[in-house]
Chains A and B, each alone.
Chain A
Amino acid sequence: MSLPGKDEPRVDAVLDAGTQTEPDTVISAGDRARRDIIDGLKAWQIWTALAWHDIRVRYIRTMLGPFWITVSMAVFVLALALVFSGVFNSDFHEYLPFLTAGLLVWGLISGVLLESATTFSSAYLIILSVPAPYSIHIFRAVLRQVIIFGHNVIVYVAVVLLVGVPVTPATLLFIPGLILVCITMAWLNLLIAAAGCRFRDLQPIVSSMLQLVFFLTPLIWDRSLIGGKVHSLWIEANPFYHLIEVMRSPLLGKAPPLLSVLCVVAMAVVGWWLTYLLFRRFRRRIPYWL
């Protein structure tokens, strides 16, 4: 255990409501940060319930319930596919699955990022009343988007049945792809959530960046569709392209490109390492920023 610095406050015995840790042990900032994330993961029942609760409450007085997610995705995909298969002069049956798979993954990524900056500030009541790990709010937010993704998968299944996308053993690779993307989104969410309660400009910055990224990333267009007029550096230097590709390729029945897998693994590892360093430094300031 590392010793706390001279001026660093020492708080003994971290207490979660319900569980008691051994008292009279000095806990340093680093330990608290690590414990926050580990205890947060252990409290999976709480954030799973909270994530489902969010979905339920959002649609509680609607007729279709959470299947509104599915319907709006289906309408969006169908309309875009009809127009843009014409724009790119491409075969609708080939374009539709490409577009659907891409937008499916994009929905997950942009959904997490859009709510990242307000993850902590919207949970301020819990943060200021209950000594629970902060990371549960992150896991809750990521899982909420995964649940929405699950509803959107129905649209994809319909497309598969409709136009006959090849289902191969490689299709199963979308599961490790999903896990990799979630790990990456979790640190991004934590980083943006903490920074977002200190710097309130982050929310508008993130949402306008996302609009830009939506057009810069091959989602409605692809290299083959525009005849190589975009330099591949534009595509491959874009981290979002790799995040999309580790899931989109398997969904289209192909193994993901090795470069994309390596990039996403690197993002997950380096990102978590950097985020952890910042989190151990700034964790205790979070309630002051709310």
Chain B
Amino acid sequence: MSSIRLDNVLVEIPIYSGVDRSLKFNLFRSTGAGKILRSAGGAIARDQRNRIVIRALDDVTLDINDGDRIALLGRNGAGKTTLLRVLANVLEPVRGTVRISGRISTLFNVSGLLDPELPGYENILFAGGLIGIPRNKLKALLPEIAAFAELGDYLQMPVRTYSSGMLVRLGFAIATSIEPDILLMDEVIGAGDVHFVEKAVHRARNLYQRSNIMVVASHNPALLHGLCNKGILMDRGKVVMMGPLQEVAERYEKNDWATNPAPASAAE
């Protein structure tokens, strides 16, 4: 039994690099003129202590249960990665409650965890250890991971010699080698060449049959058909819609949801 419940989750990321002064003027202008300024990314606002913050998640309430395989859809900066980070328990929200039960595996940037100087084989042990797979288990999984990544002799070469697509292959192979209760993935499936994407979708499909909950962020709903049964559409840190994937994907493609007004908080 796995479940995830978020209640009124707020994530505001403070910006500490002296943008305050120049931004004050812009916020005033855009709201003062009553104009709606649309941009990608979360709402830029002020928190209770009057600091400039990016409101990455705004009052998100979600209930995810066993069997839910969710596609996270939304434009760049809509809050998909932040939501995944909250679900993965690497980011504690500023306000709100998070309840998670089940063993989580994340697929964020596993290729970023690889060490450029180490050969592929050692990186499987290194990065696999970092994401929490016990070493003896990793050693047993080694042939399987190597076969899936299809990197051949390159596994004996330092990872810095890999192309970005090869890095994605290795990272994906490592992260999907275990069977978690809850699987979180961020934009990984779309990377790599056509052949690999096919393989990756197939592997993810196998994986979800063994895991209870899956949440995948992507810009490409077509890839997620057959992989997911539900969709969450996000914009500016808010959940616009949650429901069957078909309906959510249609709404996403219609693009009519992206008309919410400029952040009210900016006027405060």
| Complex interface bits, B64-96 against A, C-beta within 8 A gives 1, otherwise 0 | 000000000000000000000100111111111
CA distance A3 to B88 in the complex (A): 23
Are B97 and A10 interface neighbours, CB within 8 A?
A: yes
Does any Cβ of A come within 8 Å of B207's Cβ?
no
Which one of A9, A15, A132 lies within 8 Å of B100 (CB-CB)?
A: A15
CA distance A243 to B159 in the complex (A): 41
A15-B104, A24-B101, A45-B135 are contacts. A53–B113 as well, Cβ < 8 Å? no
Binds B, one of A63-71, A74-82, A123-131, A141-149: A123-131
Are A128 and B90 interface neighbours, CB within 8 A?
A: yes
Residues in A with CB closer than 8 Å to B99 are 12-13, 23-24
| Complex interface bits, A254-290 against B, C-beta within 8 A gives 1, otherwise 0 | 0000000000000000000000000000001001110
Residues in B with CB closer than 8 Å to A11 are 89, 92, 97-98, 100
Does any Cβ of A come within 8 Å of B118's Cβ?
yes
Are B131 and A17 interface neighbours, CB within 8 A?
A: yes
CA distance A27 to B193 in the complex (A): 43
Residues in A with CB closer than 8 Å to B112 are 125, 129
A13-B100, A57-B118 are contacts. A129–B132 as well, Cβ < 8 Å? no
Does any Cβ of A come within 8 Å of B187's Cβ?
no
Residues in A with CB closer than 8 Å to B106 are 17, 129-131
Does any Cβ of B come within 8 Å of A91's Cβ?
no
Are B132 and A130 interface neighbours, CB within 8 A?
A: yes
Are B98 and A130 interface neighbours, CB within 8 A?
A: no
Are B14 and A131 interface neighbours, CB within 8 A?
A: no
Q: How far is the CB of A129 from the nearest CB of chain B, in Å?
A: 4
Does any Cβ of B come within 8 Å of A46's Cβ?
yes
Are B89 and A46 interface neighbours, CB within 8 A?
A: no
Are A132 and B132 interface neighbours, CB within 8 A?
A: yes
Q: In the complex, what residue of chain B is closest to A128 when comparing beta carbons?
A: B90
| Complex interface bits, B109-152 against A, C-beta within 8 A gives 1, otherwise 0 | 11011010110000000100111111100000000000000000
Chain A, 145-195, CB within 8 A of any chain B CB = none
Q: How far is the CB of A102 from the nearest CB of chain B, in Å?
A: 34
Residues in B with CB closer than 8 Å to A198 are 16
Q: How far is the CB of A152 from the nearest CB of chain B, in Å?
A: 24
CA distance A198 to B17 in the complex (A): 11
Q: How far is the CB of A60 from the nearest CB of chain B, in Å?
A: 5
Are A60 and B102 interface neighbours, CB within 8 A?
A: no
Closest 4 CB pairs of A and B: A17-B132, A23-B101, A18-B132, A284-B92
Name 27 A/B residue pairs within 8 A (Cβ), A-sorted: A9-B94, A9-B97, A10-B97, A11-B98, A11-B100, A15-B102, A15-B104, A18-B133, A19-B103, A19-B132, A23-B100, A46-B130, A53-B115, A53-B118, A53-B126, A57-B117, A61-B117, A126-B130, A128-B85, A128-B109, A129-B106, A129-B113, A131-B89, A131-B104, A198-B16, A287-B92, A289-B16
> Which residues of B are in contact with A by a Cβ distance under 8 Å?
13-14, 16, 85, 88-106, 108-110, 112-113, 115, 117-118, 126, 129-135
